[in-house]
């Protein structure tokens, strides 16, 4: 089976590498040429363009930043739908608006192609370890075709419902993640302003009712957890601008369906301020810095 993998960034590269290591023929394309070298280093193939990757492939996987990148890659003249062989299965793993997913899937279906939305959770660590969670929208038969590939990249594969349903779950999940990150950072800052060590605070809260994924594997305070991006200058990981995009998707989606997301909207604004202060490329745990050092000179360090 030949696979085209388009978008070899923080997530796409390790996912494509896992497929190549599992013995699949993977032709990768990214706008940044260096990413293709890293895929070639584990037996993948470099493609000169998205069209070249797609030609002759049985399955096309995309892992791109946002709705507009996915729409421009698939739709219109010169889009990948123009170059795919009959019977090709498309899997979009990017996090995009549910409406955009349905639009691209409808365009694929109109050309006779099967397509599923399969956004992921688990971060770059999960992408490297092949332990991602996939949230899939689309027909069950198409998920069955994709499953042998998804199993090489992830551990939990959920069929959320019809086209766009994977993206709906992903938007809900990431709104909650943004809220948990901001809330955890705020709680750590409060404890530290009382003179507490962040390691002590984290250890106790991780075994108490405030426990959550951020405290368990992604602590935003530098030095608490060696494996978290906070301990390497907030490099790599999940970018502030990607979290800002996802919180924007949640707010937009809430407007379109008439739901109220007051906490999600507040946290979106925090990430917006943080991005505008020049932090868009840092890991999203850097919101810890926005919440600031202690300003009370009478308190302990």
Per CB under 6 A, the segment of 18-26, 37-45, 119-127, 216-224 that binds ligand NAD is 119-127
Nearest to 248 by CA among 100, 122, 103, 74: 100
Q: Is 50 in the site for ligand NAD (CB under 6 A)?
A: yes
- Is residue 280 near ligand NAD by the rule CB under 6 A? no
Q: How far is CA 74 from CA 170, 235, 292, in A?
A: 21, 30, 42
Looking up tokens 């332990």 gives: 131
Near ligand NAD by CB under 6 A, which window of 1-9, 18-26, 84-92, 183-191? 1-9
Alpha helix (H) residue ranges in the chain? 12-21, 33-40, 50-54, 67-74, 98-110, 123-129, 140-153, 165-193, 198-205, 213-217, 240-257, 262-274, 287-290
Is the Cβ of residue 222 or residue 239 nearer to ligand NAD in the bound state? 239
At 117 the three-state DSSP class reads: strand
- Establish if 35 lies at the interface with ligand NAD (CB under 6 A): yes
Q: Does 30 bind ligand NAD (CB under 6 A)?
A: yes
Q: Is 130 in the site for ligand NAD (CB under 6 A)?
A: no
Please say whether the beta carbons of 106 and 129 come within 8 A: no
**Residue of 152, 170, 207, 276 with catalytic role:** 170
Phi and psi at residue 203, to the nearest 5°: -60, -45
- Residue from 2, 3, 5, 12 that binds ligand NAD (CB under 6 A)? 12
- Taking CB under 6 A as the rule, does residue 63 contact ligand NAD? yes
In the block, residue with structure tokens 């896992």: 18
CB of 204 to ligand NAD, least distance (A): 27
Does position 242 bind ligand NAD by CB under 6 A? yes
170 a catalytic residue: yes
Q: Which of 173, 231, 174 is nearest to 199 (CA)?
A: 231
Our finding on whether 282 is near ligand NAD (CB under 6 A) is: no
The residues annotated as belonging to the active site are 170
Positions that interact with ligand NAD (CB under 6 A): 6-12, 29-32, 35, 50, 63-65, 69, 73, 94-95, 120-121, 123-124, 238, 242
């Amino acid at each position: 089976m030949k696979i085209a993998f388009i978008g070899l960034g923080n997530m796409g590269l390790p996912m494509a590498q896992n497929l190549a290591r599992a013995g699949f023929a993977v032709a990768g394309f990214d706008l940044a040429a260096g990413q293709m070298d890293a895929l070639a280093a584990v037996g993948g193939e470099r493609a000169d363009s998205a069209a070249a990757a797609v030609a002759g492939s049985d399955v096309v996987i995309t892992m791109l930043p946002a709705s507009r990148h996915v729409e421009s890659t698939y739709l219109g003249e010169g889009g990948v739908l123009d170059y795919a062989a009959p019977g090709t299965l498309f899997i979009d793993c990017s996090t995009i608006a549910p409406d955009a997913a349905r639009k691209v899937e409808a365009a694929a279906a109109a050309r006779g192609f099967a397509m599923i939305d399969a956004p992921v959770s688990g971060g770059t660590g999960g992408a490297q370890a092949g332990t991602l969670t996939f949230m899939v929208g689309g027909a069950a038969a198409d998920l069955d075709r994709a499953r042998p590939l998804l199993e090489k990249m992830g551990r939990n594969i959920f069929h959320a419902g019809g086209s766009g349903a994977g993206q709906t779950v992903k938007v809900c999940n990431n709104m909650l993640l943004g809220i948990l990150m901001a809330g955890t950072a705020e709680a750590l800052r409060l404890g530290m302003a009382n003179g507490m060590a962040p390691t002590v605070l984290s250890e106790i809260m991780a075994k108490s009712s405030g426990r959550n994924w951020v405290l368990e594997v992604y602590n935003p305070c530098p030095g608490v957890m060696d494996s978290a991006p906070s301990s390497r200058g907030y490099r790599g990981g999940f970018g502030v601008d990607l979290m800002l995009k996802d919180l924007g998707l949640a707010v937009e989606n809430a407007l379109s369906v008439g739901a109220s997301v007051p906490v999600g909207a507040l946290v979106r604004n925090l990430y917006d301020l943080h991005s505008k202060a020049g932090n868009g490329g840092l890991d999203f745990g850097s919101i810890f810095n926005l919440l600031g050092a202690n300003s009370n000179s009478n308190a302990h360090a």
